[in-house]
Amino acid sequence: MSARGKLKIFLGYAAGVGKTYQMLTEAQELKMQGADVAIGYFEPHGRADTIAQTAGLEFVPRRVYEHRGAKFEDMDTVAVIARHPQVAVVDEFAHTNVPGSERPKRWQDVQAILDAGIDVLTSLNIQHIESLNDQVWHVTGIRVRETVPDWVVQEADEVVMVDVTPRALLHRLERGVVYAPEKARQALENFFTETNLTALRELALRQTAHQLEERREELRVPEAVVPMASGRRESILILLTPHPSTAMLIRRGRRVADYLNSSCTAIVVAREPGMAELTPEDRAAIERHLNFCRNLRITPEIIEGKEPAKAVSAWAREHGITQIFVTRDSPDAHRLVHLARDMQVTIVAERVRHGAAAT
C-alpha cells in the first residue's frame, strides 16, 4: 500500500493575491526537477498570466455532470487517481462539487487523492477556514458558505502564505488583472475595500503564524512531555442547544481549543430518553450541530438530566473540563455560571450585522 501523499496549501486572503500562480510556478519547478505532475483541476478566471503558467503541464480531463437539465464540468477524481501522478495540482480547495458527485466537497476529493499516495498542491483563501466564518462575516458583512474544516488545514504538511499588500491588490483589481471590468467594479464597491482586505490579511498572517508555532512545538518536544505552566491541560466543553447561534458557538470553541492545543468536546443534555422532549425541528437542529461537531473533529456527547445546568457542571467536573462555552440564548447559561464556579464559563453572544451578504 502506498504511503499517504503530502498536502501543500497555498493560502491567501482574497482572490487575486497570486495563490494559483504561485502553486503553478511550483508545479513547473517540480516538473523541471523530473517529477510527474498533472493538473487535476484549474480555474483560470480569465487571468492571462496565470493561464500561461500551465504551459506544458498535463491536464487530467474533467468529468461532465448533468444537473437540472444543465451540464457542468468538475474534477474527475477517479481519473486523477487512475492517472496517479507524483503530484496533482488541484485549484480551489473549498469548492462545493456539482450535485451527483461522489463527494460533496473538493477537499474530500483531495483526501481521496492523498490516500492514494499522490502529493497535492492546492489553493485556499483564509475566509474559507470554518472556524473563522463568524469573524469574516463580522469584518466584511459577507457570510462565506464554502468552508474547509480546520483539522484538514492543520494536517497539511505545508502551508505557504501568498501575500501582497491590500493597496497592491486593489491596483491589480483596478487594472483588470483579477476580474473583468464590470465584475471588478462590483468587487471594489463591496468585498474589495481596503478595510476588508486589511482585516482579512491580518487573519491570514495570524493563522499562518499559529500553524508555524504549532509545527515548531511538534518538532521541539513530544506532546506527552510538554510541561503545563498551570499544572493542568486546558479542556474545552461546548453546550449544544437547538438555537441557530450554536453553530457560531461551535466555531468559537473549536478556534479557542486550537489556540490552546486543548481537547474539545460538545455536549447535549436530554431531559428525556432520545430527546423526546424536543420537537422534530429541534431534534433535527441538534443532529445538524452534532454532525457539524464531528466534521470539525469535536467529540460529541449526549447525557441525560432533568436539570441541564446541573448535569453539565457535574459532567464537566468529572471529566476535567477547564472552560465551558455556552450561547447567551441558552436558558441555562446563568445557572451554569453559578454551578461551575471552579471552571471558566464563557457566555458567547452572536454578533449581529444588517444587510450582510453570502458567498
Backbone angles phi, psi at 263, to 5 degrees: -70, 160
Q: Three cell numbers at 35?
A: 517529477
Give the least confident one: 46-50, 212-216, 342-346: 212-216
Cα angle 247, 114, 73 (rounded to 5 degrees) comes to 75
One-letter amino acid at 117 equals G
Q: With pLDDT > 90 as the criterion, what percentage of the chain qualifies? A: 49
188: confidence class by pLDDT, cuts 50, 70, 90 = confident
Of residues 184 and 214, more confidently modeled:
184
217: confidence class by pLDDT, cuts 50, 70, 90 = low
Q: In sequence order, which residues have a C-beta less than 8 Å from that of residue 116 and are 6 or more positions away? A: 2, 5, 81, 84
Query: Domain spanning 228-348: which CATH class is it, in words?
Result: alpha beta
Backbone angles phi, psi at 202, to 5 degrees: -60, -40
The Cα–Cα gap between 63 and 102 comes to 12
Please say if the pLDDT value at position 186 is more than 80: no
pLDDT at 303: 94
Q: What is the DSSP string of 67-90?
A: ETTEEEEE--HHHHHHH--SEEEE
Please say if the pLDDT value at position 228 is more than 70: no
Q: What is the DSSP string of 228-260?
A: PTTSS--EEEEE--SSTTHHHHHHHHHHHHHHH
What is the residue whose three cell numbers read 499522490? 118
The CATH number fitting domain 7-217, selected from 3.30.465.10, 1.10.150.50, 2.60.120.260, 3.40.50.300? 3.40.50.300
pLDDT at 167: 87
Average pLDDT over residues 232-249: 90
pLDDT at 178: 83
Q: Is the dihedral of CA 99, 105, 110, 116 positive or negative?
A: negative
Domain boundaries, the chain: 7-217, 228-348
pTM, rounded to two decimals: 0.70
pLDDT at 349: 72
pLDDT at 9: 94
Top-confidence range, 27-31, 43-47, 336-340: 27-31
pLDDT at 229: 38
Give the least confident one: 4-8, 43-47, 272-276: 43-47
Please say if the pLDDT value at position 226 is more than 70: no
What is the rounded radius of gyration, in angstroms, for the C-alpha atoms of the chain? 22
pLDDT at 99: 86
Give the least confident one: 7-11, 100-104, 182-186, 227-231: 227-231
DSSP code for 2: P
pLDDT at 61: 96
Of residues 99 and 55, more confidently modeled:
55
Backbone angles phi, psi at 24, to 5 degrees: -70, -35
Please say if the pLDDT value at position 173 is more than 70: yes
The Cα–Cα gap between 113 and 87 comes to 10
Please say if the pLDDT value at position 341 is more than 70: yes
Please say if the pLDDT value at position 117 is more than 50: yes
Average pLDDT over residues 20-43: 95
Please say if the pLDDT value at position 223 is more than 60: no
pLDDT at 221: 43
Please say if the pLDDT value at position 192 is more than 70: yes
- C-beta separation of 352 from 280 below 8 A: no
Average pLDDT over residues 37-65: 92
The Cα–Cα gap between 156 and 21 comes to 20
The Cα–Cα gap between 70 and 72 comes to 7
**Does the fold of domain 228-348 match that of domain 7-217?**
yes
Average pLDDT, the chain: 86
Of residues 140 and 56, more confidently modeled:
56
